[in-house]
Amino acid sequence: MVGGFLSQALIYLAAAIVCVPVAKKLGMGSVLGYLLAGILIGPFLLGFIGNEGKDIMHFAEFGVVMMLFLIGLELEPAHIWRMRQLIAGMGTLQLFGTAILLFLGASLLGFHWQAALSIALALSMSSTAIVLQSLKEKGLMQTAAGSSSFAVLLFQDISVIPILAFLPLIAFAGPAVANHANHTLLENFPGWMKTVAVILSVALVILAGRYIIVPLLRLIAKTHLRELFTASALLIVFAIAFLMELVGLSPALGTFLAGVVLANSEYRHELESDLEPFKGLLLGLFFIAVGASINFELVGHNTMQVFLIVAVTMFVKALVLFLTGKVFELKFDQNLLFAIGLSQVGEFAFVLFSFINELNIISTDWMNLLMAATAISMTITPLLLLINEKIIQPRLSKIDSTIEEERASEITNGKHRVVIAGFSHFGSTIGRFLRANRIECTILDNDSDQVDLLRKMGFQVHYGDATRADLMESAGAQEAEILIIAINDPVTTARVAEMAKKHFPNLEIMVRAQDRFEAYEIMDLGLRNIYRDTIDTSIRLGVDVLKKLGFRSYTATRAGQNFFKYDEEALWRLAKSRHDMKQYISDVKQEIAWQEEILSGDQHSHSPHADHAWDSEIIREAINKQ
């Protein structure tokens, strides 16, 4: 066995770099690649890692912790309310249907009802990490199966909180006989006190999210130091995880709840993009640790028991899931993907089994067997999904696009057709106009004071740096149609425009320019939808001046429209010579003279009698009577 931190890091990274590309090349997905890497370097094959693999597992669980935090960030209470029928309906049927059948099975094996119920609830959980990662890689999140899977997984994740609160109430009386690896503050307390602790901890996380975390982030945002904001995001995750472990609860549940609390904050997208790289790396490490944790020696001595647990559990879960899909009218191919995808036992089972063991509900031997079965079921799932994709699905009918779009619309969360970068006076006017016409926008601004003020006024503005591609992707730029850049700073405007052209070719970019020289810079980027700050307002004021000096409304309005048209055309012509100031000044003088001549000609070519009709009170009254 190789020792030392650097050598261990080298082994994990090398295993991932070798196995994951091979798995992707074979069409198996990255999750299976990570799992195979863990099995390969684990203590029961090559033996590159030994007992320290358990320590790595504790560290790697932060990948799941961060994933649940990010899932929570995407779940605004309003969004959960919109999905309530799918979440409550499918989630309730799956969880209780599976738990009842598994409870009956465990009871037949001779378990006490407390142990049978605890095991059934733990085995009912599916793997959020594996399912969402696999569906996302295969581009299936927007299908009917993808949205249904998301709803059930969300219900399961939320359900773990009351399950953890419920388990101490059914625990056997007397001191626990398990050997505690980690001691908690409440381990010697009676069950009812542990339940109260769960409820109080949840309440504390909610209150901290509202009254401590958001003000803290607002203070950090004013420093404009990205690394400090990233450190703050990590501090939030680690602090909540520490609090949860202190009272013997799952850190992932605490951070998930914190994510939901912060989903409505202006810092949601910034937190999401800052933690995404850490989540990806640690989640990969988690899958490797799961693969390495499979005790093949234990499996070898109890082969029939372990594989019977795996087979029966996955069959029962798939059956209940398939029947749930039938109730909610999923097409056969989508229902099959839904049933197979969620048939494994998930990472929360590790948490529940450890908690159940600490409560002396099941023995350590049974806990090890059930954990081995959980890890094997997680390893089998990517293979089953691959078989379904390559063999079964091609023989079935194609996905019904209508159902797919309906399901996709149910999970749309903060992803709008328009993204506005910069929400000062210019951007906020656009936002108000679009909202008045029922066009919702995703709005980003990196001025924390401005964001705070606008949110108090009722605008859904998010704090974030629009020059970052990862943050723009989190804000929905990949699905949006239009990006409006309404930023005050010309340099930042150019950086956002360059980034958007490179990473989001799907976007039509519309840019604010403070003056014609900034407009020239934007033209160099190949953009054509340019809007100068003062041109419209200046012309509108000029039109009003003409009216007050006695010009008819039609004459003044036509003059303003013509001036705008000619000035826009001149802007593109003058851009060619702007780098040569002498030539540029000469061209400007010619353009001014030409515009005055042609505008004067336009005015004389129209009869003033026609302009009188524009203001005719008689005609206006006649139209109103119709």
Tokens 């700050």 — which residue? 533
Helices (H), 222-302: 226-246, 251-262, 268-293, 296-301
Mean pLDDT value of segment 66-74: 76
Mean pLDDT value of segment 602-613: 52
- At 399 the pLDDT is 40
- At 100 the pLDDT is 95
- At 121 the pLDDT is 93
CB atoms within 10 A of CB 417: 14
Better-scored residue on pLDDT, 102 or 75? 102
Share of the chain above pLDDT 70, in %: 83
Beta bridge partners of 461: 443
Q: How confident is the model at residue 403 (pLDDT cuts 50, 70, 90)?
A: very low
Mean pLDDT value of segment 131-147: 78
In angstroms, the CA 427 to CA 522 distance is 18
- At 96 the pLDDT is 93
Determine which of 28-32, 266-270, 389-393 has the lowest per-residue pLDDT on average.
28-32
- Which tokens hold the place of 237? 């995750």
Tokens 């029922």 — which residue? 438
Identify the helix (H) or strand (E) that includes residue 510.
Answer: strand 508-513
CB 275 within 8 A of CB 70: yes
CB 300 within 8 A of CB 46: no
- At 54 the pLDDT is 54
Q: Of 105-114, 205-214, 233-242, which has the strongest mean pLDDT?
A: 105-114
Q: How confident is the model at residue 604 (pLDDT cuts 50, 70, 90)?
A: low
Q: Whole-model pTM? A: 0.58
In angstroms, the CA 361 to CA 178 distance is 10
Tell me the per-residue pLDDT of 351-378, one tens digit each, with 9 for 90 and over: 788 778 777 888 878 888 888 888 888 8
Q: How confident is the model at residue 99 (pLDDT cuts 50, 70, 90)?
A: very high
- At 391 the pLDDT is 80
- At 483 the pLDDT is 92
Helices (H), 345-484: 348-358, 364-387, 401-410, 425-436, 448-456, 469-474
Q: How confident is the model at residue 66 (pLDDT cuts 50, 70, 90)?
A: confident
Mean pLDDT value of segment 584-592: 80
Q: How confident is the model at residue 411 (pLDDT cuts 50, 70, 90)?
A: very low
Tell me the per-residue pLDDT of 293-318, one tens digit each, with 9 for 90 and over: 777 778 888 888 989 999 999 999 99
- At 338 the pLDDT is 92
Determine which of 416-425, 456-465, 521-530 has the lowest per-residue pLDDT on average.
456-465
Better-scored residue on pLDDT, 27 or 417? 417
Q: How confident is the model at residue 188 (pLDDT cuts 50, 70, 90)?
A: low
Tokens 């730029």 — which residue? 477
Mean pLDDT value of segment 613-624: 47
Beta bridge partners of 420: 443, 484
Kindly give, in sequence order, each residue whose CB lies less than 8 Å from that of residue 578, ignoring residues fewer than 6 positions away. Answer: 517, 520, 584
In angstroms, the CA 226 to CA 274 distance is 9
- At 388 the pLDDT is 83
List, in order of start, the domains of the chain with CATH numbers: 5-406 (1.20.1530.20), 418-610 (3.40.50.720)
CB 346 within 8 A of CB 355: no
Mean pLDDT value of segment 544-563: 85
Closest by CA to 251, choosing from 149, 344, 171, 355, is: 355
- At 191 the pLDDT is 61
pLDDT at 1 over 50: no
Kindly give, in sequence order, each residue whose CB lies less than 8 Å from that of residue 478, ignoring residues fewer than 6 positions away. Answer: 504, 506
- At 70 the pLDDT is 78
In angstroms, the CA 581 to CA 586 distance is 9
- At 177 the pLDDT is 38
Mean pLDDT value of segment 101-122: 91
Tell me the per-residue pLDDT of 247-303, one tens digit each, with 9 for 90 and over: 766 677 778 778 877 877 778 778 878 887 777 777 788 778 777 777 777 888 888
- At 603 the pLDDT is 59
What is each CA distance from 623 to 203, 549, 620, in whole angstroms? 63, 27, 5
Q: How confident is the model at residue 95 (pLDDT cuts 50, 70, 90)?
A: very high
Tell me the per-residue pLDDT of 148-160, one tens digit each, with 9 for 90 and over: 898 899 898 888 7
pLDDT at 557 over 60: yes
DSSP 396: S
pLDDT at 143 over 70: yes
CB 486 within 8 A of CB 421: yes
What is 1-62 written as a DSSP string? Answer: ---SHHHHHHHHHHHHHHHHHHHHHTT--HHHHHHHHHHHHSTTTT-SS-THHHHHHHHHHH
pLDDT at 536 over 90: no
What is each CA distance from 320 to 140, 183, 194, 316, 346, in whole angstroms? 21, 37, 32, 6, 16
Q: What is the mean pLDDT of the chain?
A: 78
Q: How confident is the model at residue 172 (pLDDT cuts 50, 70, 90)?
A: low
- At 613 the pLDDT is 46
pLDDT at 414 over 60: no
- At 174 the pLDDT is 38
